[in-house]
Amino acid sequence: MSELSNRIAVCPGSYDPITNGHLDVIGRASKLFEEVVVAVVNVPVRKGRTLFSTEERISFVERATAHMGNVRAEPFSNLVVEFAQGVGARAIVKGLRAISDFEYELEMHQLNRREAPEIESVYLMASSQYSFLRSSGVKELATFGGNIDDLVPDYVASRLKEELGR
């Protein structure tokens, strides 16, 4: 385990795919911390099988955050607090959109604190234009030919239309 630093944060998620809402939270976190590690979960427990491979999801994140010099993406397949400890992070940053997010994140926070009390959870409220945005909703829109162009980066929209378009 690395020595933990207040200057490093982890932003975990499945990022299947990354949305402009994710990018808003990552960008805001990059202004609060010297280094942000976007932790892309290999096998999400809560959400089941992903549409895109871990490698492609990491590629999406890297491309979308290339202009942020202090952000990098890494895969993980262990507890998020163990991953945070491994990269030396003292904070886990998550976005909150609605009450349902709060309830889930409160439970996760309590479990994480039990495992690693030295790791803090930091929550950023979703910007209003992204307060409704979920990867699953974007995938559903793409499946039925809806307009997703302002919800995800261009190349992600293209890949979604390729994978899901009818």
Q: Which CATH architecture has domain 5-128?
A: 3-Layer(aba) Sandwich (3.40)
Q: Is the pLDDT of residue 88 over 60?
A: yes
For residues 20-43, give the mean pLDDT: 96
Strand order in the sheet with 89-96: 71-76, 35-41, 5-13, 89-96, 120-125
For the chain, the average pLDDT equals: 93
Band (pLDDT 50/70/90 cuts) for residue 91 is: very high
Q: Which pTM does this prediction carry?
A: 0.93
Band (pLDDT 50/70/90 cuts) for residue 45 is: low
Residue 47's pLDDT is 62
The domain ranges of the chain are 5-128
For residues 128-145, give the mean pLDDT: 92
